[in-house]
Amino acid sequence: MLKNYFKIAIAVLRRRKFFTFISLFGISFTLTILLVLTAFIDKVVGDTYPDRKRDRSLYVTHLQESGKNAMNSSTLSYYFLSHFVASLKTPVKLGISSGYEGTNTYVNNKKLAVNYKYTNADYWDIMEYDFTEGKAFSKQQIDNADKVAVISEDMKRDYFGDIPSVVGKYIEADNVKYRVIGVVKNVPITSYNLYSDIYLPYTVSKTNFKSDHGYLGGFTAVLLAKSKADVPGMRDEYAAMMRRVPFQSKEYDKMYSRAEPYLQSYVNTGNESMSGVTIVLITIGIFVLLVTVLPTLNLVNINITRIMERSSEIGVRKAFGASSGTLVYQFLVENIILTLLGGLIGVVLSFIAIQVINSFHLIPNLVLSINFTVLGIGLLVCFFFGLLSGVYPAWRMSKLNVVTALKAQ
């Protein structure tokens, strides 16, 4: 029976080519957008390079001070992290790094935009960057304020060209020359707390961290627990520490900062009254709703038009004893075949769109791909799309009176 339904569906599609084109375009375009979005989210959330110890880690990215008439929120100062957070007993490592900053350098009289960031030694013990050559700077080199640098693969290619090794060579950033001691595989810019072109010891920064005792600054931290089981205790210890931190100004009577899992820290807004996770979920939900509802309504209208054109067929089949359930089943199967065909086109278009995005490097170092998870979601969306857009037209068709259906032709 399914074979007969398939033949009928193909015949119907070939009968009105314009309607078929509109239907397939709406389905494939919708699925392409959803698959590319899902591939992006999957890459951002699921990619664990270089923080492969994510299940043992908590991230500290913001601190908020608030009072009756004032509120201030930002990333944290090195003083706050090294003085208060470093006193915690549960973490076995405390990785501290600054946000990346941009500057310009010149190679053969050509301006090159580069990003650099500062880190401490524990940062390299927590993170598992893949080194293609050399190694990270040591605690001794940091304490000595040695002008050394770890650079990305792209930075190596853009600054030095195609040469086998750059370890021992010098690179200039922010008008200072640094000796390259390591090269790491690229980190996508979407991992904004870990991304950079050049990584430097925090002690070579022009900012004097020792004299700045404020709580807000340009740094974030990663707390590493000994085991996954210690993570809840580490989070509780951080919360207890925050309750003991003294206020620095009479303007403020509340202070918020949390040690959070990766996803929560990634979307942290820095505002205690606004949940980043909630905002992201609402934004994605509204986007998906708009992208799916409009094509669904369009497909419903097209399906109703198709059904009305087939009223005589429906009347004849009902006259010969076909039940409403049988007819509904047939039209649902036909619609699912249509959506799966559109889905197949959508998958092909998604592969093409992702290749175009990757080839143009629209997002630095981000390489999207469609994996089995993304593909499975796409197929599920297609099936749901087919049911959703076919239920109402099929139900309306099943209610047609036999005499009315036959008289319509």
Structure tokens at 194: 């870990």
Integer Cα distance of 210 and 240 in angstroms: 25
Question: Within 13 Å and on the Cβ side, how many CA atoms surround 297?
Answer: 5
| CB neighbour list of residue 37: distance below 8 Å, 6 or more residues apart | 284, 287, 288
Integer Cα distance of 122 and 236 in angstroms: 22
More confident residue, 114 or 360: 114
Go through the chain and tell me how many residues it has. 409
Using DSSP's 3-state secondary structure scheme, residue 365 falls into coil
Structure tokens at 121: 């030694």
Mean predicted confidence (pLDDT) in 44-54: 88
Res 282: pLDDT? 75
Q: How confident is the model at residue 153 (pLDDT cuts 50, 70, 90)?
A: very high
Integer Cα distance of 193 and 253 in angstroms: 29
- How much of the chain is helix, strand and coil, in % rounded to 5? 50, 20, 30
CA 307 to chain centroid: 41
Asked if pLDDT for residue 172 goes beyond 80, the answer is: yes
Asked if pLDDT for residue 16 goes beyond 70, the answer is: no
Q: Which of 93, 95, 114 is nearest to 159 (CA)?
A: 114
Structure tokens at 276: 């980043």
| CB neighbour list of residue 148: distance below 8 Å, 6 or more residues apart | 137, 141, 178, 179, 180, 181, 200, 201
Asked if pLDDT for residue 386 goes beyond 70, the answer is: no
Q: What pLDDT digit, counting tens, does each position of 288-340 carry?
A: 677 666 666 666 666 666 666 666 666 666 666 666 667 677 777 777 777 77
Using DSSP's 3-state secondary structure scheme, residue 223 falls into strand
Res 264: pLDDT? 87
Backbone CA torsion sign across 367, 370, 372, 375: positive
Mean predicted confidence (pLDDT) in 226-244: 96
Write down the residue that tokens 């990003």 correspond to.
115
Average pLDDT, rounded, for the chain: 83
Q: What pLDDT digit, counting tens, does each position of 265-286 carry?
A: 887 766 655 555 566 667 777 7
Q: Are 301 and 393 in contact (CB under 8 A)?
A: no
Q: Are 153 and 183 in contact (CB under 8 A)?
A: yes
Q: What pLDDT digit, counting tens, does each position of 190-203 carry?
A: 888 999 999 999 99
Cα-flanking dihedrals φ and ψ of residue 112, to 5°?
A: -130, 120
Integer Cα distance of 381 and 31 in angstroms: 8
The pTM of the whole model exceeds 0.75: yes
Pairing of strands 101-107, 176-184: unpaired
Mean predicted confidence (pLDDT) in 129-155: 96
Question: Within 13 Å and on the Cβ side, how many CA atoms surround 209?
Answer: 23
Res 278: pLDDT? 67
| HEC assignment per residue over the chain | CHHHHHHHHHHHHHHCHHHHHHHHHHHHHHHHHHHHHHHHHHHHHHCCCCCCCHHHEEEECCEEEECCCCEEEECECHHHHHHCHHHCCCCCEEEEEECCEEEEEEECCEEEEEEEEEECHHHHHHCCCCEEEECCCCHHHHHCCCCEEEEEHHHHHHHHCCCCCCCCCEEEECCEEEEEEEEECCCCCCCCCCCCCEEEEHHHCCCCCCCCCCCECCEEEEEECCCHHHHHHHHHHHHHHHHHCCCCCCCCCEEECCCECHHHHHCCCCCCCCCHHHHHHHHHHHHHHHHHHHHHHHHHHHHHHHHHHCHHHHHHHHHCCCCHHHHHHHHHHHHHHHHHHHHHHHHHHHHHHHHHHHHHCCCCCCCCCCCHHHHHHHHHHHHHHHHHHHHHHHHHHHCCCHHHHHHCC
